[in-house]
Structure 1
Amino acid sequence: MKLIRYLITGFFGAICLLLATLLPGFAQELQRYTFDSRHMGTQVNIILYAGNEALAIRASEAAFDRIEELNQLMSDYIATSEVNLVSEKSGSGEWVSINEDLYGLLQTSGQLSEMTNGLFDVTMGPLTHEWRYIRMMAEPEPPDDEKLERLLKKVGYQHLEFDEQTRSVRLNKRGMQLDLGGIAKGYAADKAIEKLKEFGIKSALVDAGGDITVSAPPPGRESWTVAVPKSTAADKNSTASLKLHNKTITTSGDMFQFLEFEGVRYSHIINPKTGLGSTFRIQATVISEDGMVADALASACTLMLPDQCLRLINGIDNAEAIIFRSREGEIEEWTTAGFDRFLD
């Protein structure tokens, strides 16, 4: 019996040794690793917990590669992207077969446009391109009414059509342009987390320029802690500390990006219905299990009055929001019904 016990013990030990060799991180204490890389026009930061540095590096590189893969499909700054190909064919009647990532994102964007009554709209490329040019001017000023009217005629999510059988889309008015700036980073952060999980990384945070997706909490903790600015002014340091896991959180507003003209402050977030930036001085933070939902609705909420945003978010499963508005030197605050459970 003693010999059998020794043989079993020795066999079990050999198996453990083999697993430790073949599976990086097996029976090892998880360590915190941080990585950063520039994608989608912003700095992307990854924090993850892994059993060893080699695994952490491989996993983070795969996650960054996944983000860049999506960027090549979805960026309107890249001439050869599928987004630009669809835009170039606008009004021609020609269907454009696209990657499943882009197809799914565009379908979801249409649903979000319906939910927001058109305040989120990925077809607003003509407007965003015009405002990019304006912000580069020595003395920037909003477009005149005549130009706005021409541009607005080229905008409308209803004119983006889908063919599920061929996984194809088309824009049915000439001159239309797609711009996924209000949804792509949220999607990319989600996909980066999925890629990390393929490497066995259970606890991670991906920050894609303010679109933050977290998976399971760090070892020994119940949640990740994420700080959200409590002001719409860049020189204010007050924050709200939130506890999150398996969620995406996105903040939008005019804290850092805006244009002032004749005493009016226009946000960089453009209203697809007016062609102008919001003047509400609102900052919205949205929490959701879906990065696309958080990304798109945070932007849309800055174009609404606070009570309108609250009604919208309260009607969506697993979504919460906190809203700040600067008015007459004071900061006003609103939260959705279940937001307080995330407060640290």
Structure 2
Amino acid sequence: MHRLFLLLLAFTCTASFSQQRFQYTQAKMGSPFHLVFYAPDSAGAATLARQAFELVDSLNAVFSDYLETSELNRLNETAGSGRSVPVSPSLFALLLQSQKAAGKSEQAYDITIGPLSRLWRSARKNKRFPSQADVLEAKKTVGIKNMVLDTAKNEARLLKAGMRLDLGGIAKGHIAQKVVDYLKDKGIASALADAGGDLACTDAPPGKKGWTVGINVPESETGLLAETITISNSAVATSGDVYQYMEYNGKRYSHIIDPRTGYGVQFQRNVTVVAPDGATADWLATACSILPLASCRKLVQRCNAQLLITQLHNNHVSYFMTDEMRSRLNP
């Protein structure tokens, strides 16, 4: 997706006598998936890592809008049919959380954005700015009210033909969370999963206060802010457009689309959110890339989350953050 802005800085520490640090990386969901945890022995760690990556693949087969055979795309194919479709507990839970997220965010986060996502992906690939008619046509089916969920039967119905759900702003964080939860269930106390910049973690590494995370300078691929943040038993997600955007008539359009307008946002923010779980951090980072700053503050506070927004003005980084995030920053 659009989360490649966090760099883990402090993976090294002195392990306790019975715990060793293990790190594994595989390409998953279009970006490197990093896994770090502490375990007693290498054989057991390798087995757990393999099982964790298999879990990633199984969840991606449910949530991906890139895989034609995914459960999500099978649901998309029923749009406008008038049928309610039974879905797996995993997919239904994420659809329900996404529906609630849309309501909380004033529809700034909306998984029915799929037709717009496809339009703008094609535009960036072909370097052709979409016409207003193209945007309006794609926008016709966008709106969370067009997704109906039956909580008694675990069924979903997409009301309009041509609808497409896109879980890109929530699935990676959710999957990272599921991976560390799985490792915790297997007896691993300290673990971190990084799904292309969407991070979830459990207890701090042995001898440390937490996992130390660095944050990119706005509009920079490699530069880091002077400050870091420390997390444990929580999740972090970031959002920004340093990698994906379009320029047209002197304006820069982010790949982060406002579902309400159909266009990418034109202001450049780096948004960092710390939240209790990966899915919440993920969708909040997207919503706070779109909403006015005052609305962002209210939203993250409602969700028991913390927010840092940085912007670059005349080569000077400006900061906007909640009080809770300010106390978390390390010089």
Relative to the length of structure 1, the TM-score reads 0.88
| Shift in alpha-carbon separation, 1:327–1:237, aligned structure 2, 3 A | same
- Aligned partner of 1:57 in structure 2 is 46
- Aligned partner of 1:177 in structure 2 is 164
Unaligned runs of 5+ in 2: 1-15
Please, which moves more after superposition, 195-204 or 172-181? Answer: 195-204
- Aligned partner of 1:340 in structure 2 is 326
Is residue 2:20 matched to residue 1:31? Answer: yes
Q: Return the offset for 1:220.
A: 1.2
Mapping for residues 99-110 of structure 1, pairs under 5 Å: 99-110=88-99
Matched residues in 2 for 1:329 and 1:221: separation? 34
AA matched with 1:178: L
Q: Return the offset for 1:85.
A: 1.1
Percent of aligned pairs sharing the same letter: 35
Matched residues in 2 for 1:107 and 1:142: separation? 33
Residue 148 of structure 1 is aligned with which of 120, 132, 135?
135
Is residue 2:29 matched to residue 1:43? Answer: no
2:130 match: secondary structure: coil
1:33 match: secondary structure: strand
Q: Deviations over 1:146-175 (max 9, x none)?
A: 111111111011111112232110110110
| Shift in alpha-carbon separation, 1:141–1:326, aligned structure 2, 3 A | farther
Unaligned runs of 5+ in 1: 1-26
- Aligned partner of 2:86 in structure 1 is 97
Relative to the length of structure 2, the TM-score reads 0.92
Judge conservation of contact 1:32–1:47 (CA < 8 Å) in 2. yes
Matched residues in 2 for 1:235 and 1:287: separation? 21
Judge conservation of contact 1:62–1:196 (CA < 8 Å) in 2. no
- Aligned partner of 1:211 in structure 2 is 198
| Shift in alpha-carbon separation, 1:237–1:287, aligned structure 2, 3 A | closer
Q: Deviations over 1:285-322 (max 9, x none)?
A: 000012111000101111123232122212322x1010
- Aligned partner of 1:22 in structure 2 is none
- Greater Rg, structure 1 or structure 2? 1
Matched residues in 1 for 2:46 and 2:74: separation? 34
1:321 match: secondary structure: strand
Is residue 2:209 matched to residue 1:231? Answer: no
- Aligned partner of 1:69 in structure 2 is 58
Say how many residue pairs are matched. 315
Matched residues in 2 for 1:48 and 1:295: separation? 22
Residue 262 of structure 1 is aligned with which of 242, 249, 268?
249
Matched residues in 2 for 1:35 and 1:61: separation? 9
Matched residues in 2 for 1:276 and 1:200: separation? 46
> What is the CA RMSD across the aligned residues, in angstroms?
1.5
Please, which moves more after superposition, 109-118 or 305-314? Answer: 305-314
Matched residues in 2 for 1:259 and 1:196: separation? 40
Judge conservation of contact 1:230–1:240 (CA < 8 Å) in 2. no
